[in-house]
Structure 1
Amino acid sequence: MDQIKKKMNQLRLESDELTARVEDLQNKIKELEAENLSKDQQLTSMQHQNGVLEAELERLEKSAVDLKKAADEGTQHGTQNESLTRRMQLLEEEAEKADKVLREAHEQLRQTDVKAGHFERRVQALEVERDNWEKKYDELEQKHNATIKELEDFQAEIGTI
């Protein structure tokens, strides 16, 4: 009986040890389940964060494509701007040349107007002189006709004598 008691005590001790061990293991299981739950939550959180980051990455890649396109357009606009600036400079130079030609033509026109005024006055003076000569011619022609008539009258008178 002593052996049975010893055995029972030993079994109780083993049972107590096993119970303690089971409790430790159950506590460890609870801890591991809590840790597992925490890890699942972290995993879910990280998956969500990964999804958000992937969406952000797609947005940034699209933005990068748009920015590259805008940069290319900016380069094109820069090239067009340079081209238009050169064209504007050429047009300004042509406008300056045209303005110079216009000023020269205006000066020539003014000089022509001055010469035309001078020649008009000269024409008027010559017309007055011509009128005077015509008047003198008419007077001389009348005197000549009168002289011819006198001569004819004189010849007729001489012829009658």
Structure 2
Amino acid sequence: MLSCADWSPPYSWCPLSGPGFESRRRRAKTPNETATPHPWPRPRRSTRPISRLAMDRIKDKLNALSSKADSLEKENDSLRAEVRQLNQDLAAKVALIETLHAKVQAAERALDAADDAAEEVKRLVAKLNMLEIEADNSERQIKAIEAERDSWEKKYEEQSQKHLATRKELDELALHLENL
């Protein structure tokens, strides 16, 4: 395979030939430098000029490669724009995820607070039920005590009446005895 540095200067169509590209040409080794084997065999230099047909094929190939490079550059630009757009979309989605994550955390805190409130309500309902049971028991005890009091009042009234009747009899008896 030929490189541009191996061609002779009359081929000015080569982009790597001409002034400023002399440094790319191989310099001769000095006797003190060790010779390293070349990784590929050097092409033989031809002393014949390249034919017009070969030159046209080379130009066509260069034009094809140039147009392919242009199309690849356009494709690269479009892909870069697509990557830029995808990065923007990714940033928007990341921001949305962070927002939703914050909302989820707030909802979890609210849910925890609601669970705590529900536990407190259950505790208060249980306490209210206990208090209602105690109130019912107290009410029954009050009714029983009132019934007992009424019974004692009735007995007291009866005893009072008996006492009065007995006293009256006693007074009558005393009066009768005095009259005698």
TM range (shorter): 0.5 to 0.7
Would you say how many aligned residue pairs link Structure 1 and Structure 2?
Answer: 126
Greater helix content: 1
Unaligned runs of 5+ in 2: 1-54
Provide the C-alpha distance between the structure 1 equivalents of 2:88 and 2:102, rounded to a whole number of angstroms: 21
Give the deviation of 1:4 after TM superposition.
4.5
Shift of 1:108: 1.3
1:17 aligns with 2:71: yes
- Report the identity percentage: 18
Separation in 2, partners of 1:122, 1:16: 153
Question: RCO higher in 1 or 2 (8 Å CA, sep ≥ 6)?
Answer: 2
| 1:42 corresponds to | 96
Give 1:63 shift.
Answer: 1.7
Name the amino acid aligned to 1:69.
R
Match of 2:80 in 1: 26
Correspondence 1:123-134 to 2 at 5 A: 123-126=177-180
Question: In the alignment, which residue of structure 2 is the partner of 1:139?
Answer: none
User: Are residues 1:74 and 2:128 paired?
Assistant: yes
Q: Which runs of 5+ in 1 are unaligned?
A: 127-161
**Amino acid in the other structure paired with 1:66:** E
- The alpha-carbon deviation at position 5 of structure 1 amounts to 4.2
Report the CA distance between 1:98 and its aligned residue: 1.0
Aligned pair 1:102/2:156, yes or no?
yes
TM-score of the two chains, using structure 2 as the length reference: 0.61
Cα distance in 1, alignment partners of residues 131 and 112 from structure 2:
28
SS at match of 1:75: helix
